[in-house]
Amino acid sequence: MPERRGDFKVSAPERQVVRALGSIGGATLVSRIAGFARDMIVALTFGAGPVTDAFFVAFRIPNILRRLLGEGALSTAMIPVFSEYTVTRPQRELLRMLRAVLALALLALTLTTLLGILAAPWILRVIAPGFASDPAQAALATLLTRAMFPYLVLVGLAALATGILNAHGRFFAGAIGPALLNLGMIAGVLLLAARVDPPILALAIGVLAGGLGQLVVQVPSLRSAGLLVAPSAELDHPALGRLVRLLVPAVFG
């Protein structure tokens, strides 16, 4: 039964929309605050100069790939496939599809990460040609790029989980992800900057911690929904072809 609020009736779907908007809005606010704190702490700890320039250039590479292959595209492509299987197929077929999708995503993200680690010096020459005049800065940027490339695997799997949970009507665990990245970077600086060499490596470790947090925070929601699965080797599953067809325009659109 709809609930009456004054002269209005609030239906169950409307309440779900309001809760979803509240969850996303609250998570966005936390992320903005954490991002502001992160910028302050990074500036106070490392200042402005070639070291921080090397970090932000290095972080740009997996971050670009995250935007292309991970967050938006993978979530967008996953939602219609998941929704179709939820509505038209039995639970065992849904879980079978999820295992195959997880295996494909893990394979693709891992291969991309390994290639990125190997090709880091050449990638940097393309996106930051000015570093060629400073071998020390180029070497630091290469080190940081290689250290942070595994973030792509973590955030890609987190994006897949977000798409599944969003299609299931659960939004907060995915929306809080950017805040966890910022908090991971803050923790890395505060806990490790005085313990690692070079100190800026602490920020890269914080990125990995934040990416892990983005993935792990969604595990309880997946488990409670009965959607936490292990990858399978069924890479010829018919749903994978549709997912790839949806993923291509989502990446390049």
Could you read off the pLDDT of 27-68 as tens digits, one per residue?
A: 889 989 999 999 999 999 999 899 999 999 999 888 787 776
Residue type, 71: E
Residue type, 134: D
What is the value of pTM for the model shown?
0.87
Three-class SS of residue 11? coil
Residue 33, pLDDT score = 95
Partners of 5 in beta bridges: 8
Question: Does residue 103 contact residue 230 with C-beta atoms inside 8 Å?
Answer: no
Q: Name the phi and psi angles at 47, rounded to 5.
A: 70, -165
Question: Does residue 66 contact residue 160 with C-beta atoms inside 8 Å?
Answer: no
Residue 149, pLDDT score = 94
Provide the residue range defining the domain that includes 42.
3-252
CA distance 97 to 75: 15
Residue 72, pLDDT score = 63
Place of tokens 């979803």: 20
Rg (CA), the chain: 20
Peptide bond into 80 cis (omega under 30): no
Q: Show the low-confidence residues of the chain (pLDDT under 70).
A: 1-18, 68-72, 251-253
Residue 213, pLDDT score = 96
CA distance 99 to 14: 32
Q: Provide the residue count of the chain.
A: 253
Domains held by the chain: number:
1
Question: Does residue 250 contact residue 73 with C-beta atoms inside 8 Å?
Answer: yes
Place of tokens 């009965």: 226
| Angle between helices 12-46 and 50-65 in degrees, nearest 10 | 150
